[in-house]
Structure 1
Amino acid sequence: MNKRDFLRTLGGGLSLALLPRTLFAATTPGELPAIRLIAAWRSLHDLGRDGASRGAKAEGSTDYVGILATDWQQGLARIETAVAVPDRVHGLLPDRDGGFLVCANRPGPWLMRCAADGEVLARQVLEDEKGGRTLNGHAAFDPAGEWLYTTESETGSTQGWIAVRRRDSLRKEAEFSTRGIEPHELLFDAEGKLVVANGGILRAAGDRKRDLERMDSSLVRLDPRSGERLGQWWLKDKRLSLRHLALGSAPAAGGPALVGIALQAEHDDPAERAAAPILAVWNGDSLAIPSRETVGAGYCGDIATGMDGGFYLSAERSHRVARWHPAAPARLEIIAELNKAGALAELPLDGTHASLIGSPRGLGFWHPQHDPMLLRWPVEIAPDNHWTLVGA
């Protein structure tokens, strides 16, 4: 990304609001806990490992991964740790020792485990494994935190695989099929089984999408030990790609914890694509689209756990964040309008879940019982699609 493109990302769509209250209504900073986030971003600044800027670069931007911290009193999101990386980072995980695990963006050539101060503890390059695979941007630790599961694709065929890796060295010890193509995000459900979103898009050289009429996106549930398929589900609309996942909280009214799936539309007709839904929900038995509201321009970039079994959804292309609640399943309530709203994280607060929203304009905070806030960045940065709480 050159300087002009970077500044366009930062400056485009300056209309900004956090809803339903006014943006700078005064939430008392002392009411909010200190928050630390594992994040990835791009910046024109040369950043040290401690996050301090050594000045703007003359040409080009750098990809970083590290830890951000909130300073509610100063209205600032500080950079605690910044690690320069050679490629864009996508999936991020907290490690049990306080550090973090990062995956390079699809088609990802490497993954890396770091300490909280940015020291690289382990790095694995897939080319060294000679398996003809690339990472698809996401990983998940098993519930015990001992094993790392990564989604991968075969080069050329895009057939999907799960690699089971050692936490310490990141070396692959086992693998099994995802029963689909182009798997993206994965998670462990409430019963400890593996749920995988097969994005279903065939890829050509350079990660170019091809033959979209042959899309085959599905949600699959697998035994994490044997790889046995326990169930598989498809949507009727074959041009909806299942991408990102969030495990909902148990609803107060009872019933299973739902899995929310962020959708990205791939229809040939731009109008049909823009009108496509952005959320699917899986209840353990069936996969359904609860809302047809066209608030997201057919593209959901991230999804996070919301209140009482619901979810937060970021729609980067329409610059909106919505929340969905199972008590009103047909509704998507817009809670924020924020340029390039992307990364989401849920913050348990006052018995519910606040939403932390990433944007080139700053870190947004929204909660139904607090005034919304926007914390500015210390230097110009463009955050990536995802972030997660340290120790989440």
Structure 2
Amino acid sequence: MVLARLMGWELRRASMLEKAVFFYLFVCLTAKIDVNVDFTHKLCASLMFPTLRSSGSPLSLIIGSLCIKHPNLFGGSEKLDLSWDKGLYDSNILVAYRRPRPEWLAQQSFVIQHSLSPEIGIHGIPVENFSRSGSAGVNLSRFAVGLELNEPPSSKWSSTTSIKFEHVRPVNDDGRSINRDYEGFPLTCSGNSNDSMVVLKQESRYAKANDHSFLQFNLQIEQGIPVISKWLIFNRFKFAASKGIKLGPAFLLTSLTGGSIVGDMAPYQAFAIGGLGSVRGYGEGAVGSGRSCLVANSELTLPLNKMLEAAIFLDCGTDLGSGHLVPGNPSLRQGKPGYGIGLGYGLRFKSQCGHLQVDYAINAFQQRTLYFGLSNLAS
């Protein structure tokens, strides 16, 4: 009310539009606003994806993220989080509303999310001996709305349960709906321009650490619920385990990731293998895309001084012969091998301003790839 008087407004006489504007200004002025730019994924994306799209508007060149947090929306400690992340070709908008609950009860969040991203991992075309993946003009527009429950964490375990309605729509680079790829194969499970589903998801996490080692394990299980007969029915699971141990001044990190899906399946649900965070030396998804996958990574780092580390690594991955089980068999049509190995070395520079990572990788086809990454930037 004070804000309205200062601005010369009388809310009782204001129109609906003026009230909406006032409410928006009130939220913004009383919220904690944090603006930051995430370079890591965006820089790697700009280096790995060929520029096949026209820039069009100057806004298309903006990359970064905006986060607005309101700690007390209605005066009862209700929390409202709004975040927007935008990359060169992708974007993600997330709205989360949380009501206060006792710590011994599961924390509830009502979530609305919309994302747009290129399907490089599944439909991208491998080039330069599989070291890069070019765009095939297929993008995914996803809309999801639902409820998340975060269980109170124990000493080592934590878990999250969610149930969401999801609407997935393939679009081309111009934003128009499409239901087939450039070779005429369906992009959705239904064969129409979109897929709908209700997904029940359970995620469990385990973490244990001491001065000499750590162990982490993550398990995700998704179940498609047939609320309507036309909606997708499937079971999809994915696990990730990692172990780190000190070997004198050096540090050895090993990880194993895998997953599988049974039941109804659209091509975009396949597991993409290859790229940064998977098998280095290959483009995103250039190793393969299948109903199942298994990826192993190992990396040994040795400190050179207080801020600089040297690293050697070995990555390998396979679709376990399941590429032909993906509808349309995009992996075979694009000539992906289905398995791959990458090895190389790199440098890790850590400072108060952020972390710089440089990796030089060689794949099984003797193709060399250089990766750059910036993370943990100081705001």
Higher relative helix content: 2
Higher relative contact order (CA 8 A, sep 6+): 1
> Would you call these one fold, judging by a TM-score over 0.5?
no
- TM-score (norm: length of structure 2): 0.33
- TM-score (norm: length of structure 1): 0.32
